[in-house]
Amino acid sequence: MAASQFDLGRFSEPALLILISLVGVERHGYAMMEDIAAFSGVTMGPGTLYGALARLEKQRLIEAVPSNHRRQPYRLTPEGQRALERQLDAIHSVTSAGMKRLREANQERP
């Protein structure tokens, strides 16, 4: 996916957390907030959550699941799953490079 298609503006980090929260499971807004707080320690406000949700849905990375409840559950789309994999790969490359340099720096230190 081109970078421009995954341009989530100031919601890029919340969007990533939401995508991770929806891997393999359907969740509504509040459940996402609780899950994100549990696995990342990030307390996401409702305005931030829905700002990111709206962008992700607009980009068809997530979709609403038909429901009779007022609380609307969401799930990842196949495209969203691929986008998440790419994002995590990119983050992994950066963290690996960073860790490698740190190790080298520690080894060179007397």
Partner 1 sequence: MNASWMLHLYPRAWRERYEDEFRAMLDGHPATPSDMLDILSGAVDAHLRPQVETSGGDPSPRDSRPTSPVQGRLAFFFAHVAFFMILNAVLFIINGLFTRDTWWAWYSLWGTAMVLVIHGGITFPWRSYFGAHLALYGVLNTGLVVINVNNGGPAWSVWTVVTLGVLLVTHGLLAFGRISLFRAHMLATALATLELLVVPLIVDDTVITSLVLNAAQLWVLVLAHWLVRFHRVSLFTAHLVTFIGMGTLLAFSNAIDDSGVLWVQYPLVAWGILLAAHAVLTTRRDRSTGSERASMMLGDLGARAKESPRKSRRRVLGFHAGSFVLGSIILVVLDLMDQASVWWAGWPIGVWLVVLAMHAGWVLMPRYLVGAHLVGWVAGSAALIQIDVITGGDRWWQWPVLWWGVIVALHLGTILPVRTTALGMHIAGAIALSVALFFANEWTGDPTWWWYPVAAIAFSVLMHFGWMLERQMARGGSAARR
Please give the residue ranges that form the binding site for partner 1 (CB under 8 A).
9-10, 28-30, 45-48, 50-51, 53-55, 58, 69-72
- Residue that has been written with the tokens 């038909």 in this structure: 66
Minimum distance of partner 1 from residue 110's CB (angstroms) = 42
Minimum distance of partner 1 from residue 48's CB (angstroms) = 6
Q: What CA–CA distance (Å, rounded) separates 102 from 106?
A: 6
Residue whose CB is less far from partner 1, 73 or 85: 73
Element (H, E) at 103: helix 78-108
Minimum distance of partner 1 from residue 108's CB (angstroms) = 37
Between the alpha carbon of residue 91 and those of residues 56, 84, 87, 97, the distances in Å are 19, 10, 6, 10
Minimum distance of partner 1 from residue 57's CB (angstroms) = 8
Q: What CA–CA distance (Å, rounded) separates 7 from 95?
A: 21
Residue whose CB is less far from partner 1, 71 or 89: 71
Residue whose CB is less far from partner 1, 19 or 53: 53
Residue whose CB is less far from partner 1, 37 or 105: 37
Q: Which two three-digit tokens encode residue 53?
A: 């949700």
